[in-house]
Structure 1
């Protein structure tokens, strides 16, 4: 039994016909018939007397109607209280993020907060991974999206993001001409190309150099510009290569300014964590942003903006079943 069935039941009772209820609810008539049949099956009794004029409640239906109206009223009141709680959720929340994570999270977070929690003042502190770690350690942020777990902060593993090599659709460097046709490249082959790298303290640089050491090669690194988006612009012009997660590049792939080359043998991954700061009690505003980041990460993974393996599945949406299609089928 669910609230939709109760709503369909009460509307049908009020309208005196399934056809009229369908018009009132703007729902296909077969969908209402199916839900009412499911409800009667669950209750193991008929609720309506049916004739050519329509439907009327029988004795069991009249008894159930009283309970149905009470249940729906309680659901309405619960929702109203929750909405009021969301409106009362106020305060400033500071989130520390890398430029790549900010690229995929910030716009959605700000838009959703405007609708759900207009009283929350959200701001981002954007920097390299080691700087984000420092902000978290110094308690300068409330939450942080970071790339390792050291056991000192409370956090959750969001996803294991895939790292790929990105190249312009029209590379201008002759060295990249053949590479531009590759769909994948073994990690060992990266030693032959100069690749933009962030500061050596950055988690990405550390991960790549550690992997290079494991396979016995040395990567030719080219110092990246101060801002990731500046470096990516340089790459889109066909003048360089970069290894980053899809969160940094999805908009450029959609506009066909960059092309992804999968790194294989082995594939390269890094873990993405969402951490609380230990600086204070978790306020309702901080908790609301924390949950919304989890939800946004799941949505970004679902629409392929953040590629890899989703670990935190709390907000994974299940496929919706079209009742009308089932009935018609």
Structure 2
């Protein structure tokens, strides 16, 4: 049973004929006849008596008419409530996030927001992780995607979003001779990274802090050079074959798809870091902020499902039923 069948049924009952219903609905008579036949077959009752004048409701048809009107009225009421919520949901929402996360989420997030909540204005404030944390602490942003679960823990809603995997990235055609052997690797032990110079963002950022801690655990020292200020500039330099860097797939998904850059899996240990979605306490009851918060959760699940953002999805509310693991494909 569907709403189209109910609409055709009620129109036919009101007009007293299929031809009359077809006229007001602007639908071909055979289409209405087919839907009514399907409805009667599903209900296993006869809804209309046919005669030379048209149709008339049976006793069962009259009883069903009341239910059909009630069902359609409830559907219309639900639509009006949802549309009303979208109309009332308005205002500006500022989201703070890193360049890599912005790369994988911003387009779909903006597109979905414009479609579902056209009166909500979304602004991205993009920067290194320590700046995102400062903006959040100073209430300069409403929502933060960050790597620190403890920042103002009692003053915000904190949701573990995703444990993202980190990879060593290299050009498929490296121009630096020292990368020739590396270009054939599918995986590399973390300890072996000390033999190569790596682009590294500001040491206050979450990524170099994680790598430095892991290097200390293994008693090694990584050779680093300053990354360019913009993520895309650094990645362009790497794609041309002149450097190496460690990033999550969120930073590189567009370049991996076009085969401009290649991921090498880091092992012994495998590197991961948790991403948290944080909602400022003073914005907890703001409908627009709440809408964006939920859309970020949904968009993250979508990015994880299509392997743009690889790792373990910690927030499973919008998880897709099955996600293909293509690690072997991207590192092989």
Closer, same or farther: CA 257–14 of 1 in aligned 2, 3 Å: same
* Alignment match of 2:312 (pick from 309, 312, 317): 309
Closer, same or farther: CA 36–199 of 1 in aligned 2, 3 Å: farther
Aligned partner of 1:231 in structure 2 is 234
Measured after TM superposition, the shift of residue 11 of structure 1 is 3.6
- Alpha-carbon RMSD across the aligned residues, in angstroms, is 3.0
**Cα pair 1:136 1:143 within 8 Å, conserved:** yes
**Cα pair 2:40 2:47 within 8 Å, conserved:** no
Distance 2:158 2:56 in 1: 56
Distance 1:143 1:23 in 2: 50
Aligned partner of 1:245 in structure 2 is 248
Distance 2:30 2:113 in 1: 35
Q: How many residues align?
A: 303
Closer, same or farther: CA 49–197 of 1 in aligned 2, 3 Å: same
**Cα pair 1:171 1:237 within 8 Å, conserved:** yes
Distance 2:32 2:268 in 1: 59
Q: Which moved more, 1:176-185 or 1:151-160?
A: 151-160
Q: Which moved more, 1:240-249 or 1:87-96?
A: 87-96
Distance 1:70 1:197 in 2: 63
Structure 1 residue runs of 5 or longer lacking an equivalent are 320-329
Aligned partner of 1:68 in structure 2 is 68
Distance 1:81 1:265 in 2: 53
The answer to whether residue 277 in structure 2 is matched with residue 274 in structure 1 is: yes
Measured after TM superposition, the shift of residue 74 of structure 1 is 1.1
Distance 1:317 1:50 in 2: 47
Distance 1:318 1:177 in 2: 40
Closer, same or farther: CA 317–24 of 1 in aligned 2, 3 Å: farther
Distance 2:297 2:7 in 1: 37
Distance 1:307 1:71 in 2: 43
Measured after TM superposition, the shift of residue 178 of structure 1 is 0.9
Question: What TM-score does the superposition give when structure 2 sets the normalisation length?
Answer: 0.81
Aligned partner of 2:176 in structure 1 is 173
Distance 2:268 2:9 in 1: 62
Measured after TM superposition, the shift of residue 13 of structure 1 is 7.5
* Alignment match of 2:191 (pick from 164, 188, 193): 188
Aligned partner of 1:140 in structure 2 is 140
1:246-290 CA deviation, whole Å, 9 max, x = no partner?
A: 110000111111011111222111111110123445311111111
Aligned partner of 2:266 in structure 1 is 263
1:41-71 CA deviation, whole Å, 9 max, x = no partner?
A: xxxx6465899xxx99754344233212211
**Cα pair 2:48 2:61 within 8 Å, conserved:** no
Aligned partner of 2:103 in structure 1 is 103
Closer, same or farther: CA 89–176 of 1 in aligned 2, 3 Å: same
Measured after TM superposition, the shift of residue 167 of structure 1 is 0.6
Aligned partner of 1:326 in structure 2 is none
Task: Map residues 114-129 of structure 1 onto 2, 5 A cutoff.
Answer: 114-129=114-129
| 3-state secondary structure, aligned to 2:308 | coil
| 3-state secondary structure, aligned to 2:298 | helix
| 3-state secondary structure, aligned to 2:89 | coil
Distance 2:119 2:315 in 1: 27
**Cα pair 1:12 1:21 within 8 Å, conserved:** no
1:12-46 CA deviation, whole Å, 9 max, x = no partner?
A: 67677xxx899469xxx89x95x876x64xxxx64
> Which one has a bigger Cα radius of gyration?
2
The answer to whether residue 287 in structure 2 is matched with residue 287 in structure 1 is: no
| 3-state secondary structure, aligned to 2:297 | helix
* Alignment match of 2:200 (pick from 197, 200, 205): 197
* Alignment match of 1:211 (pick from 210, 214, 217): 214
Question: What TM-score does the superposition give when structure 1 sets the normalisation length?
Answer: 0.82
Aligned partner of 1:86 in structure 2 is 86
| 3-state secondary structure, aligned to 1:125 | strand
Aligned partner of 2:327 in structure 1 is none
**Cα pair 1:163 1:269 within 8 Å, conserved:** yes
Structure 2 residue runs of 5 or longer lacking an equivalent are 13-17, 19-27, 323-332
| 3-state secondary structure, aligned to 2:259 | coil
